[in-house]
């Protein structure tokens, strides 16, 4: 069985930096694929995992990844993080399969807690951010 992994899909490493202490503490792999192909390839390798997608400049690409992962890897936890309090983004993320949507006013300091709770096989399994 493969070790649990956190995949962070973002243009920079801000969210990954927030998750690094959790990954080190739990001995989970933390990977930062910047392109769709490598990201999907890591998920195809199997094992428990959580995908964190930060919404940015290419919503079509980011939401496309969310939709594909929902269909291709339904056991993977899916977290969408955004910088703006735009409820229509949250609604679309929920519709495309997000397990948790983290938009303002929710702070990013909750991200590690959310990822830990969504990791398959963890005691806190669930989606505390559901509307």
The 10s digit of each residue's pLDDT in 26-67 is: 999 999 999 999 999 999 887 889 999 999 889 999 999 999
Q: Cα separation of 105 and 98, whole Å? A: 18
CATH number of the 5-105+112-118 domain: 3.40.50.2300
Helices 36-44 and 59-72, axial angle in degrees (round to 10)? 20
**What is the model's pLDDT at position 46?**
79
| pLDDT at 7 exceeding the cut of 70 | yes
**What is the model's pLDDT at position 122?**
64
**What is the model's pLDDT at position 87?**
83
Q: Cα separation of 103 and 55, whole Å? A: 10
- Contact between 87 and 116 under an 8 Å Cβ cutoff? The reply is no
Please, what is the Cα angle at 91 between 87 and 94, to 5 degrees?
135
| pLDDT at 131 exceeding the cut of 80 | no
Quick: pLDDT tens for 72-122: 999 999 999 998 878 889 999 999 999 999 998 888 899 999 999 999 876
Cβ atoms within 10 Å, residue 32: 17
pTM: 0.89
């Amino acid at each position: 069985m493969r070790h649990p992994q956190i995949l962070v899909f973002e243009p920079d490493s801000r969210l990954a930096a927030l998750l690094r202490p959790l990954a080190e503490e739990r001995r989970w792999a933390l990977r930062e694929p910047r392109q769709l192909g490598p990201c999907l390839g890591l998920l195809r390798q199997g094992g428990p995992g959580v995908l964190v997608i930060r919404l940015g400049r290419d919503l079509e690409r980011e939401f496309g990844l969310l939709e594909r992962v929902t269909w291709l890897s339904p056991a993977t936890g899916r977290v969408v993080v955004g910088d703006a309090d735009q409820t229509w983004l949250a609604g679309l993320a929920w519709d495309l399969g997000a397990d948790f949507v983290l938009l303002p006013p929710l702070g990013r300091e909750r991200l590690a807690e959310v990822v830990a709770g969504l990791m398959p096989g963890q005691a806190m399994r669930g989606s505390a951010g559901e509307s």
